[in-house]
Structures are given as C-alpha cells and as structure tokens.
Amino acid sequence: MVNSSIRGTRRNVGAIGQVKGALKTVDLSAMELRVLDLMHLGKTTKEIAARLRIPERTVVLHVRRGLRRLRARSAEELLSLIGAYHQ
C-alpha cells in the first residue's frame, strides 16, 4: 500500500510491471498514487473523493493522468499495473 503520509511530493514509481511491453520509470504525484491506491482497493470515485476531501471531478482527473502516464488503455489495465506495484 502506498504510504498515505506522502504530502505534495512526487514519487518515482519505477518499473511497475508488464502490460503489453515493459514499462519505463513513471513519475506520479503523491495524490495520484493515493487515488490509484484507493481505486485498487475497490473504492468508488465518490468514496475516494470523500476520503481525500477532494471533488469527484479531481478524482477522475487523477485517474485519467494515471491512465496516460502509465500508458494504460483501460481502467482494468490500470488496476493490473497498480496491483503489480503492490506485489
């Protein structure tokens, strides 16, 4: 699980796993990591927003950025990458 005490820093996630090719080092913000971690735990957008005290739209934007930065084509692919990170 991503350390929830990270505040305002960027964290180098590194090679997370393989989905249609090796991933290179990816730079995600601490909030993006928190959102993706909660998404991986099965939380809904509304639950994530409430827990992190941010608007739902901001949660959606963090997920979109995660998709783009990790080069995932779908939410399922994104979740598999985050799952590989947790192993």
Spans of all domains in the chain: 10-86
Q: Give the distance, in angstroms, between the CA of residue 81 and the centroid of all CA atoms in the same chain.
A: 9
In this prediction, residues 37-60 reach a mean pLDDT of 95
What does the pLDDT look like over 12-41, one tens digit per residue?
A: 444 333 333 333 456 788 899 899 989 989
Could you please state the CATH topology (level 3) that the domain comprising 10-86 is classified under.
Arc Repressor Mutant, subunit A (1.10.10)
pTM, 2 dp: 0.67
pLDDT for 65 beyond 80? yes
Instruction: State the DSSP string of 3-49.
Output: -TT--S-EEE-----BSSSB----EEEHHHHHHHHHHHTT--HHHHH
pLDDT for 67 beyond 80? yes
CA dist., res. 52 & res. 87, Å (int): 24
Tokens of 24: 């290179």
